[in-house]
Amino acid sequence: MPDRAPCGILRGRRALLAAGLGFAAGGAMAQPADYPNRPIRLVVPFAPGGLTDIPARLLAAQMTRTLGQSVVVENRAGATGTIGAELVRAAAPDGYMLLQANAASNAQAPALRRNVGYNPVEDFAPVMLGVVSPFALVVRSDRGIRSMADMVALAHREGRITFGTTGPGGTGHILALMLTQATGATFEPIHFPGDAPAIQEVLAGRLDTHYAAAARPHVEAGRLFPVATTGAERWSIFPDAPTLVELGYRGMDLFGWNGIAAPRGTPADVVERLNAAANLALRDPEVKQRLATIGLEPRGGTAAQFGAFIASEYARYRRIAQEFNLYLD
C-alpha cells in the first residue's frame, strides 16, 4: 500500500491547518477550528518497548509537532490487545483517544475469540496504516539448518520441531498449525510472553525455532540464521531468505502490522486531520530510519485504504479460525 504524497506545501500555521484537510475531496466537512485543543491519548494495547509501541511513540512525537498538542502514548496491555482496544471503542468519538490498532487486537483476537466485545471493522474509524513487518523463522546458527527442507527433515527425524510463539492464537501459533498441516511433521507451538524470551530460548538451544520480527541484531551477529520469512515478498532486511510462499507453502503470507484508529463516529474531518498529521510523521527521515533499523516497513495512505485493509485481515483470520477450528474461548 504506497505512501500518499503531501497534497500541498505547508506554509505557516494557517496553511498547515488547511492542508490537513485540503487533500480530501472538496465535499468534506469543515475542520473544527479549535481541534485539537487539548492532549490526545494514543492507546497502545501492549507493553512498552515492543513492535507496536515503538512506532506509536515515533509517530506520536512527530504528530505532536504538527498538531500543536501533545499526543501521549498510554500502554494498556492485556488479553492479546483487546483490553486497550475495548477502552478506545468505548471512548467518546471526538478525536482525543486513539488506538494503535494492530494485527492481534484488530484482526486475530476478534476472529479467534467469540467473547471479544467489539467488531474491528464496524466499531472503529480507521485513520492510517502505519507499518508492516514480516517475520523470520530463525534457528541457532550452529544447528546446521539452512533451509525449510532441513527443518522439516529434522522434525520428521526427531518427531517434532518446537516452535516459539508470542501467545495462543497469535501469528506464530497459526504458522505452527499451518506448517504441521502442510508438511505432515509436528511443529509444536510453545507460548512465550514476547519475542525476547522466545529468542533467548532459541539462543540457549532449548527451543528449535521462533518466528520473529526482532531478530535482526542476532542474525547480523551470526548467532541466528533466518531459514525463511513470511509476507508476500522477500523482506528487505533479509533479502537472501526465501518466503514461505515462494517455497510453496500456500496461505503463509502472514505479517504484523499496526496503525491508528479512532472510535466509530469520529467526525470525518477530524479523521482526515489526524490522517494528514500521521502521514506527514511517517515521511519524516528520522522516523523512517528508526523504523528501518528494527525491520518495520512504513506504509501510510488514506483512512479508506486502512479500513479496507483491516476488513481483509479480519476476514482472513476468520477463515483460518474456521479451517483449524481455532477458537480460544
Domain ranges of the chain: 12-133+255-324, 136-229
Answer whether 19's CB lies under 8 Å from 276's CB: yes
pLDDT (0 to 100) of residue 254: 92
Which has the higher per-residue pLDDT, 166 or 172? 172
pLDDT over threshold 60, residue 13: no
Which has the higher per-residue pLDDT, 106 or 232? 106
292: confidence class by pLDDT, cuts 50, 70, 90:
confident
pLDDT (0 to 100) of residue 50: 81
pLDDT (0 to 100) of residue 1: 40
Cα–Cα distance for residue pair 53/64, rounded to 1 Å: 16
Cα–Cα distance for residue pair 223/143, rounded to 1 Å: 10
φ/ψ bin of 186: left (φ > 0), alpha (ψ from -120 to 50), beta (otherwise): beta
In CATH, the architecture of 136-229 is 3-Layer(aba) Sandwich (3.40)
Closest CA to 80 of 137, 165, 164: 165
Closest CA to 105 of 72, 73, 135, 77: 77
* Phi/psi at 299 (5° precision): -120, -75
Q: What is the pLDDT of residues 182-201, one digit of tens each?
A: 999 999 999 887 778 889 99
Copy the grid coordinates of residue 15. Answer: 496553511
Copy the grid coordinates of residue 324. Answer: 483449524
Cα–Cα distance for residue pair 100/41, rounded to 1 Å: 10
Range list of H helices, 75-194: 82-89, 103, 109-112, 148-158, 171-183
Cα–Cα distance for residue pair 113/105, rounded to 1 Å: 11
Helix (H) / strand (E) containing 54: helix 53-67
Q: Domain 12-133+255-324 carries which CATH code? A: 3.40.190.150
pLDDT (0 to 100) of residue 221: 94
Cα–Cα distance for residue pair 232/223, rounded to 1 Å: 26
pLDDT over threshold 60, residue 310: yes
Cα–Cα distance for residue pair 303/315, rounded to 1 Å: 19
Closest CA to 316 of 238, 271, 255, 225: 255
Answer whether 326's CB lies under 8 Å from 174's CB: yes
**Residue 172 CA: distances (Å) to CA of 13, 77, 148, 194:** 46, 19, 16, 11
pLDDT (mean) for 71-90: 94
* pTM listed for this prediction: 0.83
pLDDT over threshold 70, residue 14: no
**Residue 44 CA: distances (Å) to CA of 28, 49, 167:** 29, 11, 18
Helix (H) / strand (E) containing 210: strand 209-212
Which class for 308: exposed (0-12), middle (13-18), buried (19 or more C-beta within 10 A)? middle
Copy the grid coordinates of residue 271. Answer: 479523521
Residue with cell 498441516: 181
pLDDT (0 to 100) of residue 33: 66
Q: What is the pLDDT of residues 37-58, one digit of tens each?
A: 999 999 999 888 888 999 999 9
Q: What 8-state DSSP symbol labels residue 200? A: H
